Amino acid sequence: MIIDGKKIAQEILLYLKDEVQKLDTKPTIAVIIVGQNPSSKIYVNLKQKKAIELGMNSIVIEMQKDTTQKELEDKIDELNQNPEINAILVQLPLPKHLDTYKIIEKIDPIKDVDGFHPQNVGRLSIGLEPYSTSCTPKGVIRLLDAYNIDIESKNIVIIGRSNIVGKPLASMLLARNATVTVAHSKTLNIRAITQRADIVIAAVGSAHLIDSDWIKDKAVVIDVGISKSPEGKLLGDVDFESVKDKASYITPVPGGVGPMTIAMLLENTLHLYNLQKEQK
Ligand code: NAP
């Protein structure tokens, strides 16, 4: 069965739109983009468009590519102190001269809509409720739940150990009592590991790395990866055609995990807005 991320994301967005309409003020997300990375600009525009469709405010702050560490940190401070701003997102990757970790640490954890702040990551990893959690892993879990795919006691292999996807996803799945293996570029014979998995989640960024030989019969296959073919076509880490008849459930690319990420971002924005209201 093909997991329809677009449909599930749309349902979540409709629910969020209803919730936002009930509020007396609009949740506001501020997105900082440094430099002119074309992919980043596309993502930022999409986030802004969706936020506005839901009735939220979205502010995009464009900074020059030679912005200094201090200028960027000062801008974040300004947003931290502004009570009208509920969520802050710094679009990654940042230009190389900037220290990404220090920038993320500068964001007030209660406004950290991406869930990347060490306080939020730390709380997630020790089983405490963070203010927010990373959007893509959260979206993956929501997809599994939407299709009633059991997580508890399942043998789950994540390929990729980034701070954005692989590691937070491992924490979230452990919290749901899965047995989690995280594979990466130095893992030997990954195929032998994935062949035993009930659920394989690929977050690598290597087009069609995974074919049906990697997958056991009736496994669930979730494809986070996005690469572009020379013709500009979006490709996942999984060779969909090869795997689709062997897997019990599979996400397509595009239309699988991608739409969920943005839905989770806007869900996080509303959640942070509500938390900040409670604290007033
Ligand atoms: P990343 O930071 O580049 O991490 C990639 C991970 O894959 C690393 O842990 C790396 O191992 C591992 N890896 C690389 N080659 C490998 C191989 N041949 N075998 C096994 N593991 C390998 O990327 P990311 O930010 O996590 O993103 C991963 C993919 O998901 C990308 O394609 C990205 O575009 C996509 N993505 C999609 C969404 C969405 O909304 N759909 C959101 C975020 C990311 P090492 O740690 O050893 O280097």
> Is the CB of 165 inside a 6 Å radius of any atom of ligand 1?
yes
**Same-domain check for residues 85 and 177:** no
**Whole-model pTM above 0.85?**
yes
Q: What is the pLDDT of residue 160?
A: 98
> Is the CB of 157 inside a 6 Å radius of any atom of ligand 1?
no
**Same-domain check for residues 144 and 249:** yes
For the CA atoms of 15, 20, 21, 23, the dihedral, rounded to the nearest 10 degrees, stands at 140
On whether residue 235 sits in a domain, the answer given is yes
How far out from the chain centre does Cα 78 lie?
25
What CA–CA distance (Å, rounded) separates 47 from 56? 11
On whether residue 182 sits in a domain, the answer given is yes
On whether residue 18 sits in a domain, the answer given is no
**Same-domain check for residues 103 and 141:** no
Q: What is the pLDDT of residue 104?
A: 98
Distance in Å, CA 243 to ligand 1 centroid:
20
The answer to whether residue 195 is catalytic is no
Total count of domains within the chain? 2
* Catalytic residue, candidates 108, 112, 114, 223: 114
Q: What is the pLDDT of residues 46-74, one digit of tens each?
A: 999 999 999 999 999 999 999 999 999 99
On whether residue 118 sits in a domain, the answer given is no
Distance in Å, CA 208 to ligand 1 centroid:
13
**Same-domain check for residues 42 and 154:** no
**Same-domain check for residues 92 and 164:** no
- Find out whether 196 and 172 touch, Cβ atoms under 8 Å: no
Q: What is the pLDDT of residue 172?
A: 98
Best probe residue, ligand 1, of 91, 134, 138, 165 (max atoms within 8 Å of C-beta)? 165
On whether residue 57 sits in a domain, the answer given is yes
CATH of the domain at 79: 3.40.50.10860
Arithmetic mean of pLDDT over the chain: 97
HSE-CB of 144 using CA atoms within 13 angstroms: 26
Nearest CA, atom 2, ligand 1: 162
Nearest CA, atom 31, ligand 1: 205
**Same-domain check for residues 150 and 250:** yes
Owning domain of residue 160: 135-257
**Same-domain check for residues 98 and 183:** no
On whether residue 277 sits in a domain, the answer given is no
Q: What is the pLDDT of residue 280?
A: 82
pLDDT beneath 70, residues of the chain: none
Q: What is the pLDDT of residues 103-145, one digit of tens each?
A: 999 999 999 999 999 999 999 999 999 999 999 999 999 999 9
